[in-house]
Amino acid sequence: MENLVKHIRFPFTFDVEKLQQEVQTILTQKWINHYNTNDYEGEWCSIALLSQGGKSENINAINIGNEKVSYTEIMASCTYLKEIMDSFLFEKTTVRLLRLAAGGYIKPHTDNCLGYEDGVFRIHIPIITNPNVEFILDNERLIMKEGECWYIDANFTHSVANKGAHDRIHLVIDGIRNEWTDQLFFKEANPEQFVKPEPQLTLAEKKLLLAQLKTMNTPIAEELIKKISKEIE
C-alpha cells in the first residue's frame, strides 16, 4: 500500500465565485444528515446532484439494484455545476455536496474499495472552506483550497475536523475508471503507482497452502510447492 498514490491535486481549478453563487441557492433546499451517524460529531449533511433514481435525498454512496443514475431536481438551476460534472468524461455513480458544519468532526475511517487501484475513485472540489479545516489522510494533513480539484484514495484512513467559524462544503464526485481518467491520472503519477499490491500470506497461511498443494498431483502444484518451500525455509 505504501507505493500507492494517496492523493493528487490536479493542475486546474474552477471558478470559486460561480460555485459559491450556485451553492447559495442550494442551501435553502433539504439537506440530509449523513447516514453513518457513528462516524461523526456535530452536523454532517449532504444533498445529491446525481443519484440513483434522480432524487436529491438519495445521498447513498453505493448504488443498489438496477435503477438508473440521473441528475436530481437540484440541477435545474445549477448550470455551472453541471458544466463541471460534464467536463469529467467518465461514468459517475454519485455526485453530492457534502457539508461539514463549523465545529463538526468526521472521525478517522476508511471507505472500502474506493481508490483508483480498485477501478473506482473519488474527486473532491472544495467550494467553501477555511484555513482551520483539518483534513488528515494517512497521518498527512491536506490543505485543499476553494476551486481546486483533488483525488483522494479513501482506502486510507482519513478524518476531517472543521475548527473554523463557517461550514465547509465540497463537491464530491464518485466515478468509474476508464481510458480518459487513465490519461488524467497518469500525467500526475506513474501507472505502477495505481496497482494494488498482491496480498502477502502469513507464515501460517503459507504452511496451510503448502499442505493443500501436497495433496494435488499436478505440475503446477509441484512448482508452487517448490516456490513456497523456499519462502518458508
> What pLDDT does residue 1 have?
57
Do 43 and 30 touch, CB atoms closer than 8 A?
Answer: no
The pTM is what?
0.85
> What pLDDT does residue 2 have?
65
| Cell numbers placing 65 | 439494484
Ranges under pLDDT 50 in the chain: none
Q: How far is CA 97 from CA 48, 147, 169, 171, 200, in A?
A: 6, 14, 7, 5, 38
Identify the three-state secondary structure at position 105.
strand
**Separation CA 200–CA 177 (nearest Å):** 26
Determine how β-strand 7-13 pairs with β-strand 120-128.
unpaired
| Cell numbers placing 126 | 472544495
Do 70 and 54 touch, CB atoms closer than 8 A?
Answer: yes
Instruction: Tell me the domains of the chain and their CATH numbers.
Output: 7-194 (2.60.120.330), 198-233 (no CATH)
